[in-house]
Structure 1
C-alpha cells in the first residue's frame, strides 16, 4: 500500500534521496522541480518501506491506510501526476555532491545575514565540510524568519521544519547572532573584515504596492502585515485591524491570501489550540466577519494558489468555499489544452477542485464563507474616513498571436461593500546598506548567487546571495535548499581558487564557543576591531 504526500509538503527533497526505489518526483535534477507545487509518490512503484516518512521534516507523508478524510484528495493528486508520459528514470535519484572546501588555506569562515530557510540551508551546506565556521546574523531575537513568522498557526506540520533548522544550528561551527541588524549594529564592511565571505539571505520583506485611489485609507493593509500580526511578529504586535464589518476583501489569490481568508473564518476555539498570538485570537473572537472575498485579476486557470493549499482549504470544517459560476470560465489557451488533454497536472488539479467548490451545496447562514472571485481588477478603494468598500473593473481574457493569455478591461464596473481590504499581490526585496540592489527587479543583482556590483556588472568578490533576495519571491520552503547549494558551490569554488581575502582573526577577547545571546559578543568584537 503506497505512501502519500499531503498538503504540508515543503519540497526540500529529503524524501527523494531517502527513497530506495526513486518513486518520489520531481527530483531536484528534473526540469520541473523548481516550479512543482509539491512532490508526488508513485503508487505503482512505492514499496511501502517508510524511509520517506522518517526523512520528511514536516510530517507530510502518510501511509494510505492512515489518511484522514481531509487528506483523501491527495491520494488522487499523487496518482494523477504519474498518468502523464514521462522519460525513463534511474533506479536512484542523482544526488548533488556537497561542495568540497580546500584544506590548504585558513579555515573557511562565512557570515550569513538572515536566519530563515534559505539561510539555514546555506549554513547546512557549508557545515558539511570540516573546519568551516558560520556566523548567522538576524535583527530579530528569534531565528527562522518566515518558517516561524510567515506560516499560518493552524499549519503546525509546516512549522515543524524549524526542528530541522534547530538540528542545523546545533552543529559544530555554527553561531547565532540574534538581535543584531546588519547596516545598523554592524556593517557589511565589518562582516567582510572578519569573514572570507558574506551570504545575504534576507528574503523579500516588503509587499508590492497597490497604487489606486483610496489605498491610504484606514482599513486597507497588506496580507503580509496581517500574517505578521497574528503570528506575533514583534514589529507588528501593536497593530490593530478593524473586524467589525461582515465582509473582508483580499486582493490576490496566492497561498498567503488563502491563509488569511482561512484564519479570518476559522472557529476561534480551533485556533486557540495553535500558537496564534493571544491578542490576535482575542480580536478574532470578537470579529463580525462572515465572508471573505478573495479576488484575482485573471481567470481560474491562472489562480496563484497551489493545489495542496486549496485542497486543504476546502476541507476546513464549518467554512463554505464557493466560486461565482459565471467566472468559472477558461481562457482560449487553457480551453484548447483541456480539449486535447494536454493541461499541465497542477492546472488540471486546480480546475477540478474549483469546479467542486462551484458545485458545493448551499448551507445555512450560520456558516462563514470564503468566496473566490475572478476577472476583477481593483480601481478604487471606497470611503472617506476609512474603508467602506472597493470598486473593480471586470476583465476579459484573450490570447494573442504568440499564444499568450492577456487580460483586457471591459469597462464594466463592480463594487463590493467591505470594512477591511488586504492586498496580497506579491513581494519584493529591500536594499541593504553597502550592498548592490536592483530596484527594478527588487533583488540583489547576482549570477548563480555571486553578487554583482550592478545588474550586468562585475562580481563583488566575497559577497553572495541566496533565497528570495537572489531569485525573487518564488518557490517553497524546500526550494531554498537547491538554491543554497548553487550559491555555496560558487562560494567554495572562489575560496578554493584563492579569490577570497583571508579575514582578520577574531579578537582574543571574544569567546570562542557559540553563544545564543551574542549581542555582547558582537559589540566586544567591533570595539576591538575599531581600536586604532
Structure 2
C-alpha cells in the first residue's frame, strides 16, 4: 500500500462533542486506545504540525524512550507547507511525509488538528499542562511590498496563490483573475518560479499532478501568456536553485525572453563564484544568450507562452486601470548594483518604467506572526527571540523552524534546526533545568479546557484513532476520503489523489484539495 494511501487509512475524524472525546481522555485513552500512566515521564507539546514540528517530535521520540509528544495544529490535517506549499508537480519533495507519518503513528505521539493555539488555548495554559512547549508554527504572514496600489484587485501574495492551487482551506475562495495576457511575479526565488511555472504549464501536464480541481479549471480558462519574474538585483543574486531554473527553461510550450544587456560582465565574474552559483548562472546565461539547439529551436518556434527574468527592478507603485480598482501596470524603479557577489546592494538610479500587467503576485517572503501576548516576539526580525531554540525569559518554552530562524532555507535546513531545538530540550531535561518530577496532565487538561470554554473546533483529527461510531459528519468525511484513496490507486505520492474540494461549510470542519 502506498504511503499516501496508508496515511489516509490511518486518519480518522474525531467528534469533539461533549463527553465522548473528554470521557475517553479522562480514562487515559490518549493514543490509539493505549492508556498512559500518570507517571513523571516528560510530556512535551509541539505547536504546529508542519515539517519543523514533526522533525522536532521525531528527534525527541527517538532520543528518549520516556517522552510523550502531543502535536497541535490549527488546520484539520498535518504536514503544513509540505502539503500546502510544495508545487503539485514536485511529488518527490512530499516523500518526507512518509517519515512524518511514522512519527505521527508512534505510540508516544499524538496529533490534534483543528486546535488554534493562541485563540482556543493559550500558550500559558499549555505550559501549565506540559513540562515543555515547542513553538513550531511557521511563518503565516506575508511580507508587504509597502507600495501604493498593492491592495488593488489582481494583486496577490505568492503564499495565498500557492495555497489556492494546493487547496489550503483559507485560500479556497481566492479565485484569482487570470483573464489578462501578462502576469508579473515579484521575487526570484523558488516559490516565484513555482508560481510562474504553474501559470504557464500545459493543461495536460497539470492534470497529472494533485493540483486542486478548481485551480485546474481556472488555469484551463486562463488567458495568461506572458510572465515576467522581477528582481531588484542581477543574474548572480537570484535566490532560485538550478533545478527550478531548469524546469522553467525546459517547460513545454514556452520560450524564454530576457534582456542581453542584463548579463554584461557576468561571464568574467563566473570564475570567482562558488560552484552551485556558477552552475546556476551558466544555465541562466545559456538560456538567455546562446542560440537554441535543435530541440529547443523546435520547441521555441511552436511556443505560445513566454517567460523571462527582469533584473535590476524594484516595484514602487501598482497602477490601477481607468476604473481605479484593478491593476493595470506596475511602476518599476531601475536599479544599479553597488558591491559584488551575494553582498551586492540594489541602489535606485532615479529612473522608472511602467510595465503593463493584469496580474501581480508578490513573492518577496513570508514572516512569522506573534502567537500569544505572553510569548516574546521580535517584530523587526519576525521571530521568537531564542538561544539554540530556548525562548528567552520563559523556562520550558522552545521554538523550532521558521519562527526560530526566519523563513530561510530548504526542508533540510528546517530539519537541522529542529533537531538542534530537540537537543537543547533534552540537555535541559538531563541537567535538571526542566523539572519533570511533578505530574503534568498533558492533553487531558487541554481537552477539559476546550470543553470548559465551549470551544467546538468542528472535529479533532487524530492519526491512528478509531473513528467514533454514530457521527454522521465524521462518517461521511471518512467515507469520502476513503473512496478518494481507492481512486488514487497504489501509485504512491505521485498519484492523482484528489479528495473532494469541500466537505462541510465550515473551514474548521473541512479538508480541501486532498491530503498531499
**Shared fold (TM-score greater than 0.5)?**
yes
Task: Give the structure 2 partner of residue 258 of structure 1.
Answer: 193
Match of 1:92 in 2: none
Change (3 A) 1:148 1:373: same
Distance 2:446 2:76 in 1: 14
Q: Is 1:441 aligned to residue 381 of structure 2?
A: yes
Q: Distance in 2 between matches of 1:324 and 1:168?
A: 49
Partner of 2:334: 394
How far apart in 1 are the matches of 2:199 and 2:269? 36
| More displaced 10-residue stretch of structure 1: 468-477 or 105-114 | 105-114
- Matched residues in 1 for 2:140 and 2:55: separation? 19
Checking the alignment, whether the CA contact within 8 Å between 2:376 and 2:384 is kept in structure 1 is yes
- The match for 1:221 is 156
Q: Which residue of 2 aligns with 1:301?
A: 236
Equivalents in 2 of 1:119, 1:242: separation in Å? Answer: 35
Report the CA distance shift for 1:366/1:480 in structure 2 as closer, same or farther (over 3 A).
closer
Looking at structure 2, the residues matched to 360 and 119 of structure 1 have their Cα atoms a distance apart, in angstroms, of 47
- In structure 1, the residue matched to 2:210 is 275
2:390 maps to which residue? 450
Q: Secondary structure at the match of 1:431?
A: coil
Superposition TM-score, scaled by structure 1 size: 0.72
Match of 1:414 among 353, 357, 363: 353
2:365 to 416, 426, 430: 426
Post-superposition offset of 1:136: 0.1
Rounded Cα–Cα distance in structure 1 between residues aligned with 2:446 and 2:202: 45
8 Å contact kept, 1:323–1:354? no
- The residue number in structure 1 matching 2:307 is 370
Q: Any conservation in 2 of the 1:393–1:410 contact (CA below 8 Å)?
A: yes
1:356 pairs with 2:280: no
Matching residue of 2:31:
none
CA distance in 1, matches of 2:453, 2:108: 22
Q: Structure 2 length as normaliser, TM-score?
A: 0.74
Mapped pair 1:491 → 2:425? yes
**Unmatched runs of 5 consecutive residues or more in structure 1:** 1-56, 59-104, 453-458, 511-520
**Separation in 2, partners of 1:133, 1:505:** 11
Seen in structure 2, the aligned counterparts of structure 1 residues 421 and 131 have a Cα distance that, compared at 3 Å, is same
C-alpha deviation, 1:172, in angstroms: 1.9
Higher mean displacement: 255-264 or 359-368 = 359-368
Superposed CA deviations along residues 226-268 of structure 1, whole A, max 9, x for unmatched, are 0000000001101111111111001110000000000000012
Deviation digits for residues 171-216 of structure 1 (CA, Å, limit 9, x no counterpart): 2200001110101111111111121100011111111100111111
Structure that is richer in helix per residue: 2
User: What is the distance in 1 between the residues matched to 2:264 and 2:347?
Assistant: 15
Q: 1:506 aligns with which of 438, 441, 444?
A: 441
- Secondary structure of the 1:393 match is strand
**Counterpart contact for 2:382–2:406, Cα < 8 Å:** yes
Does the alignment pair 1:292 with 2:292?
Answer: no
Aligned pair count?
A: 405
CA distance in 2 between counterparts of 1:529 and 1:405 reads 53
Residues 179, 355 of structure 1: alpha-carbon distance in 2 compared, 3 angstrom cutoff:
same
Structure 1 residues 258-304: Cα deviation after superposition (integer angstroms, max 9, x where no partner): 00000000012211121111111110000000011000110100001
CA 1:432/1:336 → structure 2, altered by over 3 Å: closer, same or farther?
same
Let me know the Cα RMSD of the aligned residues.
2.4
Q: Deviations over 1:329-352 (max 9, x none)?
A: 34xxx77753xx231112201111
- Distance across 1 between alignment mates of 2:103 and 2:140: 24
